[in-house]
Structure 1
Amino acid sequence: MKKPRVLLHLAALAMGLCLLAGCAAQPAAPAQATIPHIETSPQPTVAPSPTPTQTPAQQQDLQQVYGSCGLLAWPSVLYSIYLQDDANPWTEEALAQTRQNLAVAVDWITQQAQTYNAQPKIYYDTGENNLSTFAAYKAGLTEDTTTGTAFYDDVDTLTAQVDVEFIQQQYGTASIGYLIFLPVEGASYSILHYLEDGGNYLNEFSCLYLYDSYAGEKTYNSPTVYAHEILHLFGAADLYVGSRDTFVTQPLAQYVLNTWPDAIMYYTYNSDNGISYDHIEKTLCPLTAYRLGLVDSFPGSEQFPAATQDPPGVFSNGAGQNWTASDEAT
């Protein structure tokens, strides 16, 4: 029997709320598949020294609505931070697998968005560009030490050190999502900006573990998990029972299962609970496309109007009616 991913909980912080969206429910352990080499699409061409289309003040206003990572239709950068410690260094094999997963995930997101007539430009770490850094984590890396407010504060400190101005000049966008890669076993999750956070907790990040803690010892995480978490950065909600998103009720989750059983925001394992590394056996369902701002409506919107309360790409606690910032892309 399939079990949906269960959201990990994050307590309200003093200055606002962030969402901790991760995996939990454990399916039958899949067999470790052979990891093939995947040919992926080339990254979008980077225009030299592009001129930003937004002033710093406008960018700040947009970030207070969307967080650091804006809408999927905007040019965006996924900046990778590889944490390691003495006991868990990054090996060449682990790096190659991680970057391959990331390439497959971004390819899939791009192709799925194209089915909705969108042409996203997503720049990411290939090992041959300037979109990554390595950092030692002295507290030690385990699943326990990589969750909780102390770790989130440490990641906030790391992301604040990234040269955003250089990225904006090089890639022509201020829309940046951060990928925190962890060379240990765990349940991947994302920390997201809420509308109520205002100018706090702007930097949005996904923590992606090398190994899937629910799939057997030393089983690499899948590109499906990467894509699921990356979509959170752009505004996609979890669509399973237990989601912290206020509009995701049990009837809506059942509707998703009945209507789009292969929706990536509902479940990240294959239909047989297995894992694929060379492709993603999921779809970007119309409801998720709506939440990402790719379409103006979705089947079921009249039945579930709460899903349309907040603007696309925005997480909130029901305060969507207060949204006033410009919706122009950076």
Structure 2
Amino acid sequence: MFRKIWVLICLVVVAKVVFSDLKRDAEPKPPADPRLAQILTLVEQEKSDDAYEAIAQMLPEVRNPQVVQYLYKLRAHIEVERRHFHYAIESLTQAQEAGDQSMATSARIDEIKNWIGRMQEERAMADHYRDARGNGMAGELKGQVTILYLYLNDNRWSKWSGKDRLQNRQYLQQVTDWYGRRATEYGLVKPTFNTRFFFLTSPKGITKEWLRSKAFFSDAQHLIAQQLGYGNMAQFVEAKAPRGEVALVFHSNGEARSFALSCRSKEKAPRCHYEYAMLTEKMVPGARHSYVPQVQAHEMLHLFGAADLYRIRNARDYAVTDIMNYYSDTLGHATIDPITAWSIGWAEAPNAPFKIENKEK
């Protein structure tokens, strides 16, 4: 599960403040350089990804200290816009190393460090990374993957309109496309996804407490039997996903905290098979919309073995753009770092500043 959505909205506000301040600092009297002018044009046109790449290409070629300082600060405010705060501190520090002695830059570094500190409310809950690889219906994020996506509806707290479902399908398409792009970064063939949507109505209503209760999964099986015509979960899964990996997702259109119940390692849970993600992200306009695909991607990665990094004490400054640790401004700017890649079957176990269960296996 991930930090509450209202905390993330606060981070959006923080990011906007930092971004505007950094941009204001960068705008006065930019050094004269035609290549820099081109980059600034890209920034003004809101083509920040192109500007970021152009900065990376230009930095090794520049000898003018003022231009170097300016480029690093410009890179920093793009990184803040992406909510890659650790990278922004690194860029501003490099600006200082290139000769920037301004109080503003020094104060900005301290300010961003303070904001990072405010994001650590759950950091000390774990000391090690748990191994949950290759167990349950969703083993590794490879090959053929069927996503069984069940909308939970009660026409009150969780009410799904056709528009809501269409928007959610678009979000989920972003997620599966993103998984594919990240897989290619590890030299893997993109997984193939078959997403199947279903609609379940709960006559007794839906509450946050029920969704988290031990009774939910049994109750959900009864709803599937009554409304979809399958005797139990096994029959439903076998009919809809006879082969490959299976990710079972429930989604209520109400505002609460999403979570996943996934199988632990085969050693600790040898008989565990059924696992599911419970999404409670409401389809509403505004800033939160940029987070729904990240919540979906994060919670489903749990099913394939990924563990939360944001809960681990020594992971504060490790894998800082990994989606299991920090959110970015958009899913496209989030990453799957080697620790998460290991957990979902994509890579070898990396070195880390904390213990990794069964790292050598």
Output the TM-score relative to the length of structure 1.
0.61
Give the corresponding residue for 2:212: 147
1:227 aligns with 2:297: yes
SS of residue matched to 1:223:
helix
Aligned positions of 1:276-287 closer than 5 A: 276=330, 279-287=331-339
1:166 aligns with 2:239: yes
On the 8 A contact 1:210/1:221 being kept in 2, the answer is no
Which of residues 76, 82, 90 is equivalent to 2:151?
Answer: 82
1:307 aligns with 2:356: yes
Of Structure 1 and Structure 2, the greater helix share is in 2
Aligned positions of 1:16-95 closer than 5 A: 21-24=1-4, 26-29=7-10, 30=12, 66-87=135-156, 88-95=158-165
Q: Measure the CA separation in 2 of the matches of 1:66 and 1:161.
A: 16
Give the corresponding residue for 2:201: 136
SS of residue matched to 1:179:
strand
Unaligned runs of 5+ in 2: 14-131, 225-231
Q: Measure the CA separation in 1 of the matches of 2:299 and 2:133.
A: 21
Aligned positions of 1:241-320 closer than 5 A: 241=311, 248=312, 250-251=313-314, 253-256=315-318, 260-270=319-329, 276=330, 279-298=331-350, 300-301=351-352, 303-304=353-354, 306-307=355-356, 309=358
Give the corresponding residue for 1:39: none
Q: Measure the CA separation in 1 of the matches of 2:283 and 2:160.
A: 16
On the 8 A contact 1:191/1:205 being kept in 2, the answer is yes
In structure 2, the CA distance between the partners of 1:261 and 1:280, relative to structure 1 (3 Å rule), is same
Output the TM-score relative to the length of structure 2.
0.56
Shift of 1:161: 5.6
The structure whose RCO (Cα within 8 Å, separation 6+) is larger is: 1
1:239 aligns with 2:309: yes
Q: Give per-residue Cα distances to partners, 1:52-92, cap 9 Å, x unaligned.
A: xxxxxxxxxxx996101110123211111111013243211
In structure 2, the CA distance between the partners of 1:281 and 1:102, relative to structure 1 (3 Å rule), is same
Q: Give per-residue Cα distances to partners, 1:93-145, cap 9 Å, x unaligned.
A: 100111111110111111011100112324243xxxxx222111133123233
Give the corresponding residue for 1:54: none
Regions of 4+ moved over 4 Å: 156-159, 215-221
Aligned residue pair count:
230
**CA-based RMSD:** 3.1
Amino acid at match of 2:170: Q
Shift of 1:156: 5.4
Amino acid at match of 2:200: A
Percent identity (aligned):
23
Q: Measure the CA separation in 1 of the matches of 2:358 and 2:187.
A: 24
Unaligned runs of 5+ in 1: 1-20, 32-62, 126-130, 242-247, 271-275, 312-320, 322-330
SS of residue matched to 2:152:
strand
Shift of 1:209: 2.1
